[in-house]
Structure 1
Amino acid sequence: MTPWPIHSGLSKDIATGVTATLTIFSLAVLMPVVGFLFSLFIPLPVLFYRAKLGRRHGMIVPLVSIAVMSLVFGGLTMDIFFFFGLMLLGFVMSEMFEKEVSVEMTILSVCGIVLGAGLVGIVLFGMVNQTGLYTLVSTYVATNLKLSLELYKGIGIPQETIDAITASLDRIQYVLIRILPSLAAASTLFVAWTNLIAARAIMTRRGLFYPDFGRLNHWRAPDPLVWGVIGCGLMTLVPNMDIRLIGINGLLVLLTVYFIQGIGIVSFYFEKKKLPRTIRVVLYTMIAFQQLFLLVVICIGLFDMWINFRKLDTHKHEPDPPA
């Protein structure tokens, strides 16, 4: 008898989970301009099949998927760590669902575990390759900057813009390396929140357990958090570059939190006005691709502390409507 007996129905579920994960992975890799939008949802099939199949069989989906991805990339690379982190996020989120803790604790736990595992993995990867952490990260950033330049050339960005970016490449690399911790934290936070919302409709329709987090478009950040934004903002005005970079790192994470709150407000009014789903998708896409709209949403989230755009009773708990 094998330690993990798998019957035919279970094998089909595992195969479907692996196929779904690898399909999203393929779209993310093969569509470089909008591929990052697909990569956001790599955790989703892992989360779903972990909930459906349980911990022991559910972990087969990410393990097989990462093995196939490693073959595609020709072995373990930094990109593999990125995709592994996304799948780990989905697995850990399903684990947290079973603990039935608050939405804040769920997100913080998921982000902490994923970021911690990522850091340990990168350090071990550097040790195996006899490369220091800074050198490893610096090489990775430089390589991706060059690939981005090639992409810009391929999609018809004006040559003068390409030349300007090329001339500033060293400076861009210097800053990117130093704000990479906050970029990693902010992106993990955003991906975790996106999959938390996306999982609700899928899991409830399939009869799987989903915690009662209340109306997520009613969520708001703790009021004292605004002092962190003010403090980090003031740090960016200090002439010392090290202090400014600390402030920038803090702002990137905190403004992501307020972007999530702002999107909740936008979703609240979309729901209140009963906008058709097609129009909602178009407007959300505009927010994703237009920096001006992105900044407006962040400002809405930030100023909600004083204005209370949704006129919410913060002490009242309302369950989400049926998916």
Structure 2
Amino acid sequence: MRPAPAPGHSGHQTGPAAVPDRVHSGAAALIPGRNLVKRGRGLRIWLFCLGALLLAFLGGQTNPVVFLLTGVLVPLPVLLVGWRVGPRAALFLALTTALAIFSLKPGLEIIKAHLGFGEMLLMGVLLSGFHARGMAPARAIVLTVVALSLLALVYLAGEAALLKLSPQELLAQKTREIMEMVKQFLEGGGSSTMPFGGTAAELEALVQGLLPGLVVANMGLVAWFNVVLVRQIAFALDRPQPDTQPLYHWAAPEWLIFVALGAGFLLLAPVKVLRFFSLNLLIILGLLYFCQGMAVVSAWFHRFSLPRIFRLVGYLLLFINPMMFLVIILGMMDLWFDFRRLHQPEEA
């Protein structure tokens, strides 16, 4: 047994004194240069993201294709400011952008016309706030989508009451608005052929039956995509942010598979409302299992240390129509096969 070290003399120090971390942080706070540099860097990031948001908005007004592409990335500048500067700066950025857009033509008309842009700004604010609280990315995405969905539901209920429309009539009206946007997007891209090779009437009927699920799934996919991007930007800037778990640990609750099975059986029900509800629920659950399947693929890429260019090509291929269904099936199979070994003991 190793003998215990001899006690030091009471009047002499035998080793380096332990200095609490708060002493170091307090000393760092007294250095004005470091704080000024940090504030200046944060201000530059904030101004850069503000300019990016305003350019994205103005560019989206000139071309429907640019509007769609930039609209997906609206939460990214807000998220980046939230990660690098703080959630309050992200909120201030979103408010400043909204006020700048409102100042172009003050009135209710511009607010109603750009509710989607405002929703994306709010998505970035919510994701930044949840990240600042140390919440896991998967849970932050789910809570953000739930909050935005409830907010949209309240808005639509108020609009239906104001216009004296039934839910079916409001759904048909929103479907026509979406179809008009699809036509503008296709015309802006130089194409007049409807997606999936159908007619406009057939596509409108399909969208009307799937609209609630498509809206929720679209919000979830946009939130997930922006979280992935902001993490990559943070790592590229050598400023990794601590998370409770990486995104390739995404896992849906195991009991959710029974909800999916129940929704599948409801498709056989003779009641139209039940089929409508179950079909939209399956779309939302499909997004959750798609994210889990992407997490499995990401874990495999990470395990084999593939170069970033191969990962990028692989991820893009997974968004092709047939591959997306295979990714969903992979996510569901992960419940039984545990491809990432998340549920095995450490000794295994």
Q: Provide the rounded CA distance (Å) in 2 between the counterparts of 1:36 and 1:229.
A: 31
Q: Provide the rounded CA distance (Å) in 1 between the counterparts of 2:77 and 2:159.
A: 27
Describe how 1:59-138 pairs up with structure 2 within 5 A: 59-70=91-102, 71=104, 75-76=109-110, 78=112, 80-124=114-158, 130=163, 132=165, 134=167, 135-138=169-172
Pair 124,64 (structure 1): closer, same or farther in 2 beyond 3 Å:
farther
With normalisation by structure 1, the TM-score equals 0.78
8 Å CA contact retained: 1:78, 1:140:
no
Aligned to 1:232: 263
Q: Provide the rounded CA distance (Å) in 1 between the counterparts of 2:156 and 2:100.
A: 20
Q: Which has the larger radius of gyration?
A: 2
Aligned to 2:177: 143
Q: Provide the rounded CA distance (Å) in 2 between the counterparts of 1:67 and 1:213.
A: 35
Pair 293,23 (structure 1): closer, same or farther in 2 beyond 3 Å:
farther
Q: Which amino acid aligns with 2:271?
A: N
Aligned to 1:292: 322
Aligned to 1:305: 335
Pair 143,313 (structure 1): closer, same or farther in 2 beyond 3 Å:
closer
Q: Secondary structure at the match of 1:214?
A: coil
Displacement of 1:244 in angstroms is 0.8
* Residue 282 in structure 1 maps to residue 313 in structure 2: yes
Pair 55,170 (structure 1): closer, same or farther in 2 beyond 3 Å:
closer
Q: Deviations over 1:253-301 (max 9, x none)?
A: 111000000011111222233333223222222222x210111111111
Gaps of 5+ in 1: 1-6, 317-323
Q: Provide the rounded CA distance (Å) in 1 between the counterparts of 2:112 and 2:99.
A: 14
Q: Provide the rounded CA distance (Å) in 2 between the counterparts of 1:125 and 1:54.
A: 35
Q: Secondary structure at the match of 1:76?
A: helix
8 Å CA contact retained: 1:182, 1:249:
yes
Displacement of 1:50 in angstroms is 3.3
Q: Which amino acid aligns with 1:50?
A: G
Displacement of 1:160 in angstroms is 12
Q: Provide the rounded CA distance (Å) in 2 between the counterparts of 1:77 and 1:133.
A: 23
Aligned to 1:264: 295
Match of 2:250 among 193, 197, 219: 219
Displacement of 1:231 in angstroms is 0.8
Displacement of 1:187 in angstroms is 1.9
Q: Deviations over 1:71-100 (max 9, x none)?
A: 489833555221211111111111112222
Q: Which amino acid aligns with 1:300?
A: L
Pair 51,280 (structure 1): closer, same or farther in 2 beyond 3 Å:
closer
Match of 2:77 among 39, 42, 45: 45
8 Å CA contact retained: 1:81, 1:118:
no
Q: Provide the rounded CA distance (Å) in 2 between the counterparts of 1:184 and 1:212.
A: 28
Q: Deviations over 1:94-114 (max 9, x none)?
A: 111222234444233222222
Q: Secondary structure at the match of 1:100?
A: coil
Aligned-pair Cα RMSD in Å: 3.5
Q: Provide the rounded CA distance (Å) in 2 between the counterparts of 1:294 and 1:160.
A: 17
Q: Deviations over 1:6-41 (max 9, x none)?
A: x98776544322112234445666664586454332
Q: Provide the rounded CA distance (Å) in 2 between the counterparts of 1:46 and 1:100.
A: 17
8 Å CA contact retained: 1:81, 1:121:
no
Q: Provide the rounded CA distance (Å) in 2 between the counterparts of 1:104 and 1:307.
A: 21
Gaps of 5+ in 2: 1-38
Q: Which amino acid aligns with 1:270?
A: F
Q: Secondary structure at the match of 2:275?
A: helix
Q: Deviations over 1:122-181 (max 9, x none)?
A: 445666x7464745553232032134245446644559987x513435633542xxx333
Aligned to 1:319: none
Name the stretch that deviates more: 190-199 or 68-77: 68-77
Pair 170,280 (structure 1): closer, same or farther in 2 beyond 3 Å:
closer
Pair 269,11 (structure 1): closer, same or farther in 2 beyond 3 Å:
closer
Pair 307,137 (structure 1): closer, same or farther in 2 beyond 3 Å:
same
Q: Secondary structure at the match of 2:114?
A: helix
Q: Provide the rounded CA distance (Å) in 1 between the counterparts of 2:196 and 2:323.
A: 23
Q: Which amino acid aligns with 1:262?
A: G
